[in-house]
Structure 1
Amino acid sequence: MDTDLNQRLDRPSATPDDLAEAERLLLHLKYLLLLPTPNGQFVECLKAMGAKTPEGRQWSYVAAQPVLDRLSKKRLLAVDHGCLPALAHDITEQAIAAPTAERMVAAICKVLPVQPPWSSYYLAPDQVALCRLLRLAAYANDAYADDATAFDALATLGDKRLGPASNVFFFGNLFVVSPPPAAWFASRAPRMLPTLLLARLLAFTQAGTADDDLPAIIAQARAGLGNSAYESLRPVLLRCDLLANRLDAMRADFVGSDDDRLALDGTMAFLEGRNDAALALYRDALKARRKRLGKRKLFLPDEHGMFFLLALLRANDAALHAELQTGIEAALFELPEWPTARAGGRSRPCSGWRRGWRSRRRPR
């Protein structure tokens, strides 16, 4: 009963279609901006798109404040006028389909552009602007983009300024709290699809975000494996196969180094109940990985390392306790891949915003 009551209290008391024109405009702009935006810049976006208040006056924050308060009371915005993660995808899609979409996107690009790297000593403002425009390009499907604000250009710039694959980690954090449906991915431009699919699959394998559309998204990603642009999805698809216990698919799809192959064979042996064979394969894989990377203090990555430790425990042999302890220490020494690690010496974008979203509550 309490759960049902909480769900009813959390549900918005209105939809964007039920709103007045001014309320709908501000709501759409809020969700297109999405990331933290100062009040002054929010109002500047309204002015840049030529929007007027219901009284025909120019927007100011004094005029916008009561409208945002009403949206908050209708549980379409948080109490601090921030966006709610559960509504982010749906309202952004409605905003992109609205007649004012082109003007809103143009205003955001004008008021909140990506600054040159020498314009500020601090990274954070430029990081937010870059990620915001990258998300806009994905949702607008590059419909309103020029050469500087196209998805590919922003993704390349993000990799350069924020670290390798920073765009994947940014979208991955967004998709953890607000995953789009399979139809949305199918409608994206082919050039941006590998990045978005990889981010969605990482949101599943690393954070456990699953929904009814996930099998269709996995099938869509698997269908592109013949394309070189999709090769980065192969390890994540292998992990999905492992979680689904599709061992034959894992064997068929694998492409990688010798130590990765040995680790995969060890995992399959462990899942099939052949513990002694799994231990032998894991040890060979660890030896080959140390030789390939030229390091001694490391362990098998991801789920292979976890299953290696479980295989040592399953052996129930006190003589293996030292090997087990060494493996645990080596695994703890290595940083996790996503989302808490650092990319290119800089914090990966949006990891803090995702944590902030989770703690944000709807108004009552």
Structure 2
Amino acid sequence: MKPVLVPTNDVNSEHGIVVTWFVDDRDKVEAGALLVEVETSKAVLEVYAPEPGILLHLARKGQEVPLAEPVAMLFDDAAGLTAYSDRLAAEADARAAAPAEVRATVKAVERARELGVDLSTFDGSRLITVKDVEAAASAPVTVDYTTMPAALATEPGVSRILVIGGALGATQVIDIFSQVPTQQAVAILDDDPGRWGAEVAGVPIVGGTDRLAALFAAGVYDAAIIAIGTSVDTRARFRKLCAEAAIPLANAIDPTAKIATDVVIGQGNIICAFGHLGTGVRMGDNNFLSAYNSFDHHSVIGSDNATGPSCVSSGKVTLGDRIRLGTGIFIEPNVVLGDAVQVASGAVIVTSVPANHAVKTKVVTTTVVPRRSS
């Protein structure tokens, strides 16, 4: 018995949709045969048979599947396949007889993890949605923050920055501030209670984002920055919260970045190592540009966008708002990307993309073989 996994290096996608099966359930296949296509938020992935055998589908066309789990199984003979499928049927019968478990959409599970909401407290008789999770998170809850660590102290004249988000993006932002003598990260807010009291690169996580306004009013920090690069919608939501509380947003620009003298940059932008903004570029607010991004002359970048490393545009390119770019993307001159566009890693964009559309790329299996001795 051999599991068939979806090949992907996309750490930001945990699930995909089965698009097409090329081999029928329980048919024989040869090693290397194309079995199925699975679509993630960034790419269409082709899955090939790792060895010969009899194929058992573990998902139907159109079904959402976890990328960390097999999408199919391969068996040496029919007897092995029958025994395995009988076991799956018995397990399904046992689950049906057991008390109902909590059922939630994939996005609801992700949102619950982000907001620290316990899904087991919900009524298990219906499907839980993102709206349900957010309603639960906004319900009045009394949290004792007296045990949280205090924000860091700074030297006079140094701008004290509050970092929103305590995951990997925070490490990038804090590293930038460590090289900028006029700015210092003094505290982090994260809505995952499991992170509270911990540190990221020496900066304490002092609670959830419900403390944003109170800490600002108490004079704990001077400005905030949103260190979340995986969700443009989350970036936009926190920018709105800061605006409502009159909290200014700080820019974090790595000293290695090359910014032309006439570039106009808004607030809350993160420009990582070796970034480049050419002459005449206009950038809005709250963008997260990863390392080695280059937007050439007279390009326009909206607000609440996030990119992977090595995204490169020619001149006079326009990006709207809430755009998510993968890694290693090239954009030709005069191209316009509308609001909420998603672009898969490795894409070359030669024509404009309307709002709320996605640009996909196909990723095929790469075979690793031993080197031949010289």
TM range (shorter): under 0.3
Looking at secondary structure, tell me which structure has more strand per residue: 2
Q: What is the TM-score with the length of structure 1 in the denominator?
A: 0.27
* Structure with bigger RCO (C-alpha 8 Å, 6+ apart): 1
Looking at secondary structure, tell me which structure has more helix per residue: 1
Q: What is the TM-score with the length of structure 2 in the denominator?
A: 0.26
